[in-house]
Amino acid sequence: MTTTEVRHRPQEPEPRMAGHGEERPVSAPPGFAEVLRRHRHAARLTLEQLAEASGVSARTLSDMERGRSAGPQHRTVTALAQALALGEDDRERLIGLAREGRLRDHWARPSGLCEPPRSVDDFTGRAAELAWADDFVHARDTPGAAGVALITGAAGLGKTTFAVRAAHVLRSSFPDGVLFADLFGMSDRPLTAGDVLTHLLRALGVTERRMPRDTPDRASLYRSLLRQRRVLVVLDDAGSEEQVRPLLPGGGGSRVLVTSRRSLAGLEGVQRLGLGPLPPVEAAELLAGILAKRGAGDGGDVIGELARFCGGLPLALRIVGNRLVSRPGWRAGDFVHRLADEERRLDQLRAGDLTIATAFGTSYDQLAAPARRVFRRLALVHGRDFDAPLAAMLGGLPAGDAWDALDELVDLGLLEDAGSGRYRFHELVRLFARDRLHEEEPPADREELTQAMTSWLDSPPGRHNKDHHTDRSDHSDGVVAAVLPTGRCSGDPRGRARVPRPESRRAHARAAEVFEAIGDAEAADRRRARMASSPGDRVSLRAVLRGR
């Protein structure tokens, strides 16, 4: 069996996923190897005895029964059928299976265009997701099922790494081969479906003379070839439904894995798997596995801190690990201090041609102008989450356009839908948005936006958005977002800000002003009373605003 990719990648021995469980047998008609083995057992012959009777070496027979030689020549099969004393029907069936095996070997033979995709040997976690992929591959065909799994997620979450790993783990279930094509969907020059079909058909053994001229005919031939055999196709970095649709199978035992940063909601009948950040334990395990190459004995606490600053993004974890491995003289603890500096964190997440900012930038470049403007200006919000009215105000957009912009940002993984009409950034994405804001908007404009946001948040909810219901707790959330400039992910995971005592007093005063603005005089008076007696130097403005 062969794995073929549409672009060059370095080749390495096939890794295996430890602890993933036993591979399940494929419920497909028996091939030449299985039928030959059954006939030999029925004849009560050992490999050596059949070798002596047929003139075919025992080693060659062993390769045939193990599937390593699924399409022996006609004269060899005829000799085996005679030695096994097969009847006419069994003889013709064995010859036919050998012929099909020879055709499969030809179709799956590497075209010379490329080499197999590389699967990293320190792959960590994603056990539940791999089990999901295993279930998808082995599920029985149902009417209307497309045999397609769509793997989505933001930049840096390891979609390609996961898909390649799944292909390696599951490759034994696809005796007719694994095909891999990079669609370059996020680049400025994505491949067309016709281009990809040409590559895939060549990999399936279609010659230039047989290659159809137009895309629909290529797609028809491609589906026909896949329907007759069991192939796994990995389509990486899909940019749109239009790019993917002609590349999907038309039934049969073949399966397709598609990866994309977009949701591709227009694809019908596909199964969907969304990848999220790695949990803290798995993130630390991945980083520890990479750092083991250093032999420096980096402590678990330090590794945990490094992993936390990476926010569970496999790309960020790999960058940190690679930088430390390439600098054996560096102390991991010193690198923690570098990452703790929000102003420099994205600059530190760079190793050779791997950069977090570049990964986010390819998504940012796909946005329409209003969504780009909303994205970078939302970096002014320092709270955990925010809503569409605030996004509309910052972007200078009508409410409907603001919803569209937020939906576009969620679709590309640049925002997370927090539910209940609220949205949030991944911490590293927030830092990228802040960099875009500082790069693209002058300081005077940023200051004006900040003042406008503060004024807008101070106004009663009904004044600034008559069409959107916002209760007082929602409004206080917005004020927290506007006036609490804390690095929530990096400095204080519980969402409490370390505020010096003078700022603590100002926080109570600020809360009093807000409650007065929204018509809650009693709450305002209580805040003023506390302003003179606040005993601690740790104040959560969210708690102040909700403690009424």
- Does 252 fall in a domain? yes
Question: What 8-state DSSP symbol labels residue 538?
Answer: B
* Pair 343, 244 in one domain: no
**HSE-CB for 129 with a 13 A CA cutoff:** 27
Answer whether residue 113 shows pLDDT above 80: no
Answer whether residue 519 shows pLDDT above 70: no
Q: What is the pLDDT of residue 489?
A: 33
- Does 20 fall in a domain? no
Q: What is the pLDDT of residue 12?
A: 33
Closest by CA to 339, choosing from 358, 362, 353, 319, is: 319
* Pair 45, 128 in one domain: no
Distance of CA 431 to the CA centre of its chain: 20
Of 255, 274, 293, the one marking the end of a domain is 274
Q: What is the pLDDT of residue 493?
A: 35
Compare 524 and 121 and report the one with higher pLDDT.
121
- The backbone torsions φ and ψ at residue 259, rounded to the nearest 5 degrees and listed phi first, read -110, 145
**pLDDT tens column, 459-514:** 655 544 444 333 434 444 444 444 444 433 333 333 333 444 455 555 566 666 55
Q: What ranges make up the beta strands (E) of 193-242? A: 232-236
Q: What is the pLDDT of residue 523?
A: 60
The DSSP annotation for 468-515 comes to: S---HHHHHHHHHHHH----HHHH-TTS--B--HHHHHHHHHHHHHHH
Question: What 8-state DSSP symbol labels residue 253?
Answer: S
Give Cβ neighbours of residue 359 (< 8 Å, ≥ 6 apart): 155, 156, 315
Please compute the mean of the pLDDT values over residues 199-226 and round it to a whole number: 90
Q: What is the pLDDT of residue 19?
A: 32
Please compute the mean of the pLDDT values over residues 59-82 and round it to a whole number: 82
**Structural domain boundaries enclosing 333:** 280-352
Contact 536, 530 (CB under 8 A): no
Answer whether residue 369 shows pLDDT above 70: yes
Contact 254, 231 (CB under 8 A): yes
* Pair 133, 230 in one domain: yes
Answer whether residue 6 shows pLDDT above 50: no
- Tokens 């295993």 sit at which residue? 134
Q: What is the pLDDT of residue 404?
A: 96
Q: What is the CATH number of the domain that holds 39?
A: 1.10.260.40
Domains held by the chain: number: 4
* Pair 341, 420 in one domain: no
Q: What is the CATH number of the domain that holds 177?
A: 3.40.50.300
Tokens of 416: 């997370």
Angle of helix 443-458 relative to helix 472-483, nearest 10 degrees?
150
- Does 374 fall in a domain? yes
Of 289, 321, 352, the one marking the end of a domain is 352
Tokens of 468: 């959107």
* Pair 125, 270 in one domain: yes
* Pair 413, 511 in one domain: yes
* Pair 261, 330 in one domain: no
- Does 142 fall in a domain? yes
* Mean pLDDT, the chain, whole residue set: 79
Answer whether residue 379 shows pLDDT above 80: yes
Read off the pLDDT band of 329 (50, 70, 90). confident
Of 233, 255, 274, the one marking the end of a domain is 274
With the C-alpha atoms ordered 179, 180, 181, 185, is the resulting torsion angle positive or negative? positive
* Pair 406, 336 in one domain: no
Please compute the mean of the pLDDT values over residues 81-110 and round it to a whole number: 75
Q: What is the pLDDT of residue 487?
A: 37
Answer whether residue 256 shows pLDDT above 80: yes
Q: What is the pLDDT of residue 171?
A: 86
* Pair 532, 393 in one domain: yes
**pLDDT tens column, 153-163:** 999 999 999 99
Please state, in angstroms and rounded to a whole number, the distance separating the CA atoms of residues 257 and 248: 10
Answer whether residue 272 shows pLDDT above 50: yes
- The three-state secondary structure class of 48 is helix
* Pair 455, 486 in one domain: yes
pTM, 2 dp:
0.67
Distances (CA, A) of 457 to 32, 133, 137, 221, 524: 73, 46, 51, 60, 16
Length of the chain counted residue by residue: 548
Q: C-alpha angle with apex 296: 293 to 301, nearest 5 degrees?
A: 105
- Does 18 fall in a domain? no
- Does 100 fall in a domain? yes
- Does 26 fall in a domain? no
- Does 19 fall in a domain? no
* Pair 199, 229 in one domain: yes
Q: What is the pLDDT of residue 545?
A: 42
**pLDDT tens column, 401-443:** 999 999 999 999 999 999 988 999 999 999 999 999 999 999 9
* Pair 123, 237 in one domain: yes
Please compute the mean of the pLDDT values over residues 366-372 and round it to a whole number: 96
